[in-house]
Amino acid sequence: MDSQRSGRHVYDAVVVGGGVAGLTAAGLVAGRGHRVLLLERGTACEAALLGAARAHDVEVRERCVAVNVVTEDERVTGLRYRPAAGPARTVRARYVLDASGGGSLLRRHVVGAQAFSGLAVYACFEGAFEDGFDYGFEDRFESGSGGGRALDGPRRFPFPGGWFWVAPVGDGDEAVFCVGAVVRRELADPVHRDPEGALFGFAEECPPVRELLARAGRVRGGPHGRVRVRPQWSYAGERLWRPGMALVGDAACSPPVESPLSERVRLARHGAELAAHALDAFLSGTSTEEAAFAGFAREYREAYEARHTEKPAERPTAEPPEGLASVGDKILRRRPGEFHEGRERLGEDLRLR
């Protein structure tokens, strides 16, 4: 067991996940003077946010996999994790924030077991567009669109096994784009056996996508070089917290898999601020846990629903998110006494647009 300082808890908070949500929440909570440990199963990839978190004395342990929570009298009081080398360890904390993504191993301890409704397989391509993503691309094809949606978001195309989406990577100013298929659960086996072969096989059944990929090449290297498979979950969990633990990022509210990366980053960042505000209020004794996290859950769910349950034509136009380097700089500049009180000021620096 990790050595304890005074009292029974080593840390005020343990944050699981070193992505945008986890690093943002950890930096903000530590900036209020709380002792924070962050566990990341790989290596934290957001250098600006990682630097800001460490500047606020967040203890970061990379290559550590959180495997289970520790509970006492129905309250989460810590967790078990496995470092890359050595045996599993137990760490105690007053609170656990799970920001480890939609495939979280810990999420079930808040929401219970959940079955997925389908499977998504997707990859990035380039070479079909010279001047950035063309939302009207299928109009060029003799086969016609066969589906699609408004020109301000991902295009959708049905095929016998499910449906495809085509969307730009980022905000559409690059030539790289993402193509993915969401298929029924009974098609999961061929997807798991050969994800790339399955994706191209499904494309043969969808003329607009087939013709698009005939003009493009799959990205083979860098951050966009993998063919990815994930359960098709689009949810804002009915429960986002329990005594001693809360969910943030994709573990809490996962936008549809075809949502632009900028939209996912924006929601994760906003949820991290809401969680940090609630956690600071609880740890500082200015609010009860129930009041603080009931407000967190309500506002987080409202933010999700405002973006992802409206019809596409009614959805607000997304604005590009603030750069992560700028976000990191703002967290770094925030003095320990500077923390936003109330929702109006909470999103002032990292606003959900």
The CB-side HSE value for 14 (13 A sphere, CA atoms) comes to 29
Residue 83 falls inside a structural domain: yes
113 versus 251: the higher-pLDDT residue is 251
Rounded to 10 degrees, what is the CA torsion of 102, 317, 175, 131? 180
Domain edge (last residue) among 209, 231, 253: 231
> For the segment 295-345, what is each residue's pLDDT rounded down to a tens digit?
999 999 888 877 665 433 344 434 434 444 454 455 445 544 444 443 333
Structure tokens at 237: 């969990």
- The whole-number average pLDDT for the span 180-192 is 88
Q: What is the pLDDT of residue 154?
A: 62
Tokens 């966009």 belong to which residue? Answer: 224
Are 132 and 207 within one domain?
Answer: yes
Domain edge (last residue) among 180, 199, 231: 231
Number of domains in the chain: 2
Q: What is the pLDDT of residue 4?
A: 42
Q: Which of 74, 95, 82 is nearest to 10 (CA)?
A: 95
Across 47-56, 203-212, 252-261, least confident range: 252-261
Which range of residues forms the domain containing residue 155? 119-231
Across 31-35, 198-202, 245-249, 262-266, least confident range: 262-266
List the CATH number of the domain containing 342: 3.50.50.60
Confidence (pTM): 0.64
Please state, in angstroms and rounded to a whole number, the distance separating the CA atoms of residues 305 and 320: 19
Q: What is the pLDDT of residue 91?
A: 96
Q: Which of 229, 242, 191, 269 is nearest to 102 (CA)?
A: 229
Q: What is the pLDDT of residue 14?
A: 98
Task: Please check whether residue 137 is in contact with residue 128, taking contact to mean a CB–CB distance below 8 angstroms.
Answer: yes
Domain edge (last residue) among 180, 198, 231: 231
Are 240 and 227 within one domain?
Answer: no
Please state, in angstroms and rounded to a whole number, the distance separating the CA atoms of residues 347 and 143: 46
C-alpha to C-alpha distances, 353 to 96, 141, 350, nearest whole angstrom: 28, 35, 9
